[in-house]
Structure 1
Amino acid sequence: MSDDSAAAIRDTRKDFMTEHREMYLRSGGAQGHILDISAVGGHSFTTHCMIRYTGRKSGKTFITPLIYGDIGGEVVIVASKGGADEHPAWYLNIRDSDHVEFQIATQAFRGTWREPEGEEREKVWRFVVDAFPSYATYQASTERLIPLVMMKAVEPIAVFKESDATGVRQL
């Protein structure tokens, strides 16, 4: 898939993604954790987390909602960017960080992150494709290997607020 095609997908979902992020933040996580995304190839009961990270170039703080799964006591997120030929900015930013901050429903954490490799990666990939089948289509449309990020909570932190974000992610 070209970056232009991926951009078209993001434009179609831009309002939804912005509204989702705002709903999640404004409710403190009471809303937005579970959404019906069957209209875009997902399931009617799909879990979403938020990640908070610092821009490696801008130094601004961003908050991004993402589909997640829990596998083996770790939270897995997928750097798909709709099958674009380049990695999403959030992935590049956390890749340059020693830790990650994430919120699941009404609980937020500072944690560690890693990328699974080899046989473990294959197992995790099958798990995320089962959770959101479009990931397989995204992978087939790009030559890059779509990264998987495994996060493990280390300590609880305050839930995210709209005012935490000093930058607005371009969707």
Structure 2
Amino acid sequence: MDWDHPKDPKQGTWQLDHVKQYVATNGAEGHHWNGTQTLLLTTVGRVSGNAVRTPLIYGEADGRYLIVASKGGDDEHPLWYKNLTAHPEVRIQVGPEVLQGTARTATPEERAAYWPVMVGHWADYDEYQRKTDREIPIVVIEPAGAAA
């Protein structure tokens, strides 16, 4: 896996601009975004096998990182979520720190505890959940240490 050369979001999207800024400044710009905090998640494409990088809002609990697979309340899971369910080994950049980790879907008990944490970071998550019949997953990333 070539973690150091991931595929970034599509050209012309705010996500691509966000990733470029985040990487160019080692997280000094982009980590704090629109009143919240973001990380860069790199997953392994379940079809392509290539590294794919996505900027996401995150929270923290119990030494773990939390992200929400909301896709704005769409009825389909985001591609990054489908990728990590197929390949749970991930890389994250949180500000200047780059870590390897293992991602998993929160248990129902964890989701109940972590949902208010994540709504505290992005209030729109409640609205996104109302827009869809699917239960929006929370992903728990267990950091394994600094990336090589």
TM range (shorter): 0.7 to 0.9
* Deviation by residue 1:121-158 (Cα, 9 ceiling, x = unmatched): 11101111121010000000001111110112112015
Tell me which of the two structures has the higher relative contact order, counting C-alpha pairs closer than 8 angstroms and 6 or more residues apart: 1
Equivalent residue number for residue 19 of structure 1: 17
Three-state SS of the structure 2 residue aligned to 1:144 is coil
Paired residues, number:
137
Q: CA deviation at 1:17?
A: 2.0
**Runs of 5+ unmatched residues, structure 2:** 1-11
- Please report the RMSD computed on the Cα atoms of aligned residues, expressed in angstroms: 1.4
Q: What is the match of residue 33 of structure 1?
A: 31
Counterpart-to-counterpart distance in 2, 1:87 and 1:118: 17
Q: Which segment drifts farther, 92-101 or 112-121? A: 112-121
| Pair 1:15–1:113, CA change in 2 (3 A) | closer
- Written as runs of structure 1 = structure 2, the 5 A alignment for 1:151-162 is 151-157=141-147
Moved over 6 A (4+): none
Q: Which secondary structure does the structure 1 equivalent of 2:88 belong to? A: coil
* TM-aligned CA deviation for residue 59 of structure 1: 2.0
> Residue 59 of structure 1 is aligned with which of 46, 49, 54?
49
Q: Does 1:76 align with 2:66?
A: yes
Q: Which runs of 5 or more residues in structure 1 are unaligned?
A: 1-13, 38-43, 159-171
**Higher percent of residues as strand:** 2
**Identity over aligned residues, as a percent?**
37
What's the secondary structure of 1:151's corresponding residue? strand
